[in-house]
Structure 1
Amino acid sequence: MRFSGLNSRSKSINRRTILKGLAALGAAGGDLATFAEALAQSSSEEVSQLTVLIQGGPVADTINNVALPIFKSQYPGVGIQLEVSANAAAYPKMLAQRNNPVISGGMFNDLFSARGSIDKMWAPINTDFMPNAKRVPKDLLLPGGEGVTFQQTPFGIMYNPDRVAPPTSWTDLWNPKYEGRVAMWDAYFDAYAMAAVASGKSASVEEGIKAWEPYRKNIGVWSTSPIAEEDLVHRGEVWLAPHWGAWCEQARLQGKRVAFAFPREGATLWSNQLQSCAGFSPKVTELVQRYLNVWLSDECQAAWLKNALISPAIGSLAIPPELQTNAAVISAADAGKRLIRLDARQVATKFAATKALIERTLKS
């Protein structure tokens, strides 16, 4: 991120460039860290660039084509540098750079939003800067965490309609005729919680893993990428896979032979959060929150719904008639009531132990 207004000759000086210069002059590591923190907190009158973390694909298309022109019309002097990366790759770097932060805000899923809350990575949201946050229903917000939900979709079952009938229950994944034809995740746990629900228990990930044990032969592939999983189902290498409604629909619109089912026991709520990162000057924090506020505008929310089948987070945006029967689309008002939300902080805290339990119970 670039800061200007430090003095009349420093308007184009990058904070990282300053730090590299100090390092070249022999400044000690502790001095550099202290100076980096002071510079991040400096009260610049002008901010020439914000660095914002986003996902790629149709999510990025709306940010570039809809959000950016709106923000630029309001703040023509502020550039936006988009950092396209998955949370799993970006967050460890952000954590390592927390004393000299680069990314000032962006989109983070429930798990990494919770991890950031635990690690104290987020700045509080000021609704004076982000007034559209008031339009998000309270039961759609991440419990006990900072940030604001701005995208959501049900997590249910993706299937190949040429190979299987539409699944109606999470227990359909256990059908003996699907041995080796189901893809599962060992780093995303919602399907296990729903397996527990389908077994008559609460939405417990641990209970769901145990419920899957007698049917472990049905797991033919362990997924590591949503796109790769969509391709596997499309080609018929696996026939069913727990999956995100919006991503399944995006694959279908690309011509892949996939469809989405909302099981009778329910689906879980996946969401993306807007987060403003700590460690920046008040002016940077204000501007990044004003920029993220645009992502909650009617224009952006409607574009994500139309072009990517990502369900809106603002309660006032109605689902158009042609999408009201689509199982992957749900209104903000209904999502908080109909979808099951896992405790993201608990998932984040027990992540390593849960992965180990999957390894022992289902993969070894």
Structure 2
Amino acid sequence: MTYLDRRALLRSAGAAGAALLGGGLLAACGSPGRTSASGSTALTLFHWAGVQGTVPRRVAQAFAKKHDVTIRYIEGTNADTFPKLVSSVQVNADKPLLNLGFFNAQSFAQGAADGLWAPVSEKSVPNVAKVLPGYTTGNGFGAYMVMDAMGLIYNKKVIRTPPTSWTDLFDSAYRGRVTTWDAPAFSVNAVPVINQIEGGSDGDLSKGIAAFSRAAKKGQFSGLIGSIDQLRQQLNSGQVVIAPGFQGVAQPWIDEGDPIGFAVPEQGVMAFPEGFQLVKGSSEDQLALAADLMNEIFAPDAVADYSAATATIPLVEGARLPAKYRDIESFQLKTVQNALKLDWTALVTGLDKATTAWNNDVKAHL
């Protein structure tokens, strides 16, 4: 894919007198469109819901105003938006649902396997050169911006002493009061972590699924969650007392006074990198503008703001961890450096088989 010079593109658009539309929102899924009503380039940006969308949207709105560009927004989760992106490309490879999106490591790997992503380089997005060594994608697609830590989230009123092991999810003392996420969102439901503990490989989740199956048959789970808000509600009410979850999700709840704790298991947290991808099939001018926008989102100050808003660990040089988290052990970079790490490429090769096994051996017994 050849990239146009982004600044030349903007200059030529202005010189030609083609006034680009500003503003424009799309809060739900919709077609990005290659042009606006006036024939000018329009972008669609996908970001996560809630506080995860605050900084990307703020940067995008400033970018749109500065360059007089239309930017539409899709707000949601990887679980619902990624499949819609795949479907849009299957219908028409030249009209993807979005042009620039925020995804987790599982979606990074799935998208790479499916040929969804356009290349990202230090030339097209200079600030990716500031991503810390060891946290680059390695395949030239996308870039990680922050790292979250997945551990155990629990109700402090019920569990007085913080849990210490991933296997506490299967403790009979919590029978009927444990939850997790449905397949194929294995990156967030702890199956790969339990699979590693049971001696399995990331490309074959059968040992982890077997452990969840045994627990499901004994009535360990209250059900499956479909949203972060649902998880929070169930933890606060005591319907659920322990679940796999992210520090970046739990910490804002803790800061707001919820009776919720975050525990680092003795086996380690699971490292969970997050970042942005440019979407293949976007037009040349969309890719050029999206790369410029991605560069501004990866500016150290913007990454620091995102880290502060989402309680995540910045992975960009010059972006400092917020002061309120600097003395908390689980927010230190060494926590994820010593974390349980998944081979995401291997994991996604076995997703179909794992999902079928999950549905038959776990979900069928809930």
| TM-score, normalised with respect to structure 1 | 0.79
Query: Which structure 1 residue ranges, 5 or more long, are not aligned?
Result: 14-38
Find the aligned partners of 2:169 and 2:40 in 1 and give their Cα distance: 52
Find the aligned partners of 2:258 and 2:222 in 1 and give their Cα distance: 20
Find the aligned partners of 1:322 and 1:294 in 2 and give their Cα distance: 25
Which of residues 164, 182, 188 is equivalent to 1:186? 182
Aligned residue in 2 for 1:286: 288
Aligned residue in 2 for 1:346: 346
Structure index of larger Rg: 1
Tell me whether 1:152 sits opposite 2:143 in the alignment: no
* Cα distance change, pair 48–355 in 1 and its aligned pair in 2 (3 A): closer
Find the aligned partners of 1:143 and 1:185 in 2 and give their Cα distance: 28
- The alignment covers a number of residue pairs equal to 329
Aligned residue in 1 for 2:50: 57
* Cα distance change, pair 183–107 in 1 and its aligned pair in 2 (3 A): same
* Cα distance change, pair 50–213 in 1 and its aligned pair in 2 (3 A): closer
Q: Which amino acid aligns with 1:291?
A: L
1:195-274 correspondence to structure 2 within 5 Å: 195-199=194-198, 205-216=205-216, 217-274=219-276
Which deviates further from its counterpart, 140-149 or 175-184?
140-149
Find the aligned partners of 2:300 and 2:275 in 1 and give their Cα distance: 17
Moved over 6 A (4+): 8-13
Contact 1:110/1:142 (CA < 8 Å) preserved in 2? no
Q: RMSD over aligned Cα, in angstroms?
A: 3.1
Query: How far 1:107 moved relative to its partner?
Result: 1.0
1:1-364 correspondence to structure 2 within 5 Å: 47-66=40-59, 68-69=61-62, 71-72=63-64, 75-95=66-86, 96=88, 97-142=92-137, 144=139, 146-164=141-159, 165-187=161-183, 188-190=185-187, 191-199=190-198, 205-216=205-216, 217-326=219-328, 329-331=331-333, 334=334, 337-364=337-364
Find the aligned partners of 2:201 and 2:83 in 1 and give their Cα distance: 32
Find the aligned partners of 1:295 and 1:128 in 2 and give their Cα distance: 16
Query: Which structure 2 residue ranges, 5 or more long, are not aligned?
Result: 1-9, 22-32
Q: Which amino acid aligns with 1:104?
A: N
Contact 1:54/1:106 (CA < 8 Å) preserved in 2? yes
Find the aligned partners of 2:133 and 2:227 in 1 and give their Cα distance: 31
| SS of the residue 1:101 aligns to | coil
Find the aligned partners of 1:85 and 1:98 in 2 and give their Cα distance: 22
Find the aligned partners of 1:132 and 1:94 in 2 and give their Cα distance: 26
Find the aligned partners of 1:92 and 1:178 in 2 and give their Cα distance: 34
Q: Which amino acid aligns with 2:220?
A: N
